[in-house]
Amino acid sequence: MNGYVDTHAHYDDGAFESDRLELIQKLFDGGIELIVDPAVDLKSSLAVIDISKRFPGYYCAVGIHPHEASDASDTDYETIRALSAPDNAVLNKIVAIGETGLDYHYDFSPRDLQADNFRKNIRIALDNCLPLIVHDREAHADTLKILEEENAFHGKVLFHCYSGSAEFASRLTDLGCWFSFGGAITFKNAAKFDGVLKAIPKERILPETDSPYMAPVPVRGTRNDSSNLKFIYARLSVLMGIDEEELKELMKHNAAEFFGLNKYK
């Protein structure tokens, strides 16, 4: 089977309360081959581990999102660290730490707490040898500063739903970063992605939906799910100048490389 991969979807979200497990099964039956579900706090970390254990192609990331930084306790970090320790990570199907980072658009948590939370997540990722999934919204300079100060580039770093410039993408590429793209590349005002995608080597690009958010055109505004990857792949195929069959192979390859999926088989 030559399926789609969704490197970022939140099926633990309340939006899927009524049909979560049936929907996920339907997605796997319908040509989705891999889903990675990044947590947003401790409760969500436990939920994504539980879902991952139910489906062979389902994996998760554990960590604390900047929105939840104010509510995180020391015990939460200790638990996330223990859950994702090398032996436990394989058992719990944890393939990354995240999503974490900085969100200066909403500022739901004070910025100093967001920074502190980000640093703690980075340290867990490095100590447990796991890749890091970064959420950077309108906080490019501080995100880079913290990643550099914490030596995060000693490990693998993924900018999810990348929203920076082509220049910033080049700089991050030189530091070894990876990038994922979802619904935003299909929106009407998405002209800048042309330059952004050209600034990144094709081996460092990953597809995502960010479900239930960010539904792509032509289903924008609806509850998003991984079946909408076809719209994202179609746009990526144009932006990257690669035909869709080749793109499917490449995205599978890139996801396996970034998340180190071979050790989970």
Is the backbone of residue 100 left (phi > 0), alpha (psi -120 to 50) or beta? beta
CB of 109 to Zn ion, least distance (A): 16
Q: DSSP strand E in the chain: where?
A: 4-6, 32-38, 58-62, 94-103, 132-137, 157-159, 178-181, 205-207
List binders of Zn ion among 199-218 (CB under 5 A). 210
CB of 212 to Zn ion, least distance (A): 10
Give whichever of 242 and 255 is closer to Zn ion, judged by the CB atom.
255
CB of 52 to Zn ion, least distance (A): 16
Query: Which of 111, 106, 163, 155 shows the shortest CA–CA distance to 133?
Result: 155
CB of 37 to Zn ion, least distance (A): 9
Question: What letter does residue 9 receive in the DSSP assignment?
Answer: B
CB of 36 to Zn ion, least distance (A): 10
Q: How far apart are CA 265 and CA 244, in angstroms?
A: 26
CA distances from 102 to 71, 124, 127 (A): 15, 17, 21
DSSP strand pairing (32-38 vs 4-6): parallel
Which strand (E) or helix (H) includes residue 162?
none
Q: How far apart are CA 99 and CA 88, in angstroms?
A: 19
21 neighbors 49 (Cβ within 8 angstroms): no
- Residues touching Zn ion, count (CB under 5 A): 1
Give whichever of 150 and 210 is closer to Zn ion, judged by the CB atom.
210
Q: How far apart are CA 35 and CA 149, in angstroms?
A: 31
Give whichever of 68 and 210 is closer to Zn ion, judged by the CB atom.
210
Which single residue brings its beta carbon nearest to Zn ion?
210
CB of 246 to Zn ion, least distance (A): 27
Give whichever of 11 and 242 is closer to Zn ion, judged by the CB atom.
11
CB of 265 to Zn ion, least distance (A): 26
Q: How far apart are CA 146 and CA 151, in angstroms?
A: 8
Give whichever of 9 and 236 is closer to Zn ion, judged by the CB atom.
9
Q: How far apart are CA 135 and CA 66, in angstroms?
A: 8
Give whichever of 136 and 210 is closer to Zn ion, judged by the CB atom.
210
Three-class SS of residue 84? coil
Give whichever of 195 and 212 is closer to Zn ion, judged by the CB atom.
212
Binding site for Zn ion (CB under 5 A): 210
